[in-house]
Chain A
Amino acid sequence: MTGRERRSLRRDAALVERLRAGDRAAFSAVVTDYSPMMRHVARGYVASTTAADDVVQEAWLTVIRSLETFEGRSALRTWIVGIVVNIARRHGAKDARTVPWSAMEADGVGTVDPARFQGQDAPHPGAWTSVGAPSPWAPERRALDAETLGLLGAALATLPESQRLVVTLRDVDGLSGEEVCAALGLTAGNQRILLHRGRARLRQELEDYYRGNEVRR
């Protein structure tokens, strides 16, 4: 365990003490912080956002009642994810719902348009062509403006569900790879494949967007 992880566990232990003592501000802060992530985890098991909200609600009630059983050996977040998964599984079974975790094996199809690379007969097969090579993007501050984030949020919604779930939990909610594997019942390899495809597609969306802006200018 790293020093950072140890500090984080100590912070969680202090937080749980406050929750056990009925600190409403602390409870309100964790609900605000973790509910979106919990909803995303639940969406791996149940069919609608309403059903996911029910899971989140039930999970919080379980958290409130079970605080004494939190032993502090894992992060509070990881513990909460486990509670969400248990409840969501039960609800999901009623929904007879399964995410299509299809096409997860490496199928040899690249995430970048092959036309952007030189062909087998070219001087440097597999190297970027002069037109295909990625050109630098607009300044970094653009990465966080509302239009960029709006576009990215919309693009995320259009990803195949399995990719969307993984990218959302990893990059929007900030869960670790291990936490996502546990939350969605994925192997490390499949988690990485889905993450890879999803991120590559979103990068492409941003590239198209920044390029479009240049043309308009």
Chain B
Amino acid sequence: MTDDAELRCQQVVELVTDYLEGALDPETTARFREHLRGCPHCTEYLDQIRRTIRSLGHVPVDAVAPETMAGLLAEFGSLRPEQPTSRRGRFRLR
């Protein structure tokens, strides 16, 4: 690999998102990984970005207001009257 082909740390930090999104071409992906192997600082940086993303997944969001939920359930109940066959255990998302 020539000097030109070597990524600098300052370039690597701007490629982290494209890397995580799988949007880098194979050649740049290889150079990116090559850089990480030799650079604990950029490895740490990437790790911190990943950790930021993980934390964001736990940031609390505003819950549905109880009166909104009550209104929607009432609407749901009148448009979709419950059929007896539908009650096979509680449904859970995910």
- Please report B residues at the A interface, Cβ cutoff 8 Å: 8-11, 13-14, 16-18, 21, 23, 41-42, 44-45, 48-49, 51-65, 68-69, 71-73, 75-77, 79-83, 85-87, 90-93
Contacts and interface: CB of A to CB of B under 8 A. Distances in A.
A31 B91 contact: no
Contact of A26 (B52, B55, B75, B91): B91
B54 A195 contact: no
B21 A202 contact: no
A135 B44 contact: yes
Interface of A: 15, 18-33, 35-36, 39, 53, 57, 60-61, 64-65, 67, 110-112, 114, 117, 124-128, 133-137, 140, 143-144, 148-149, 152-153, 156, 167, 171-174, 177, 188, 192, 195-196, 199-200, 202-203, 206-207
A76 B17 CA distance: 27
Given A24-B82, A26-B91, A57-B72, A199 B55 contact: no
Contact of B17 (A26, A57, A192): A192
A24 B9 contact: no
A100 to B, nearest CB: 21
B63 A22 contact: no
Contacts of A124: 8
A60 B13 CA distance: 41
A206 B48 contact: yes
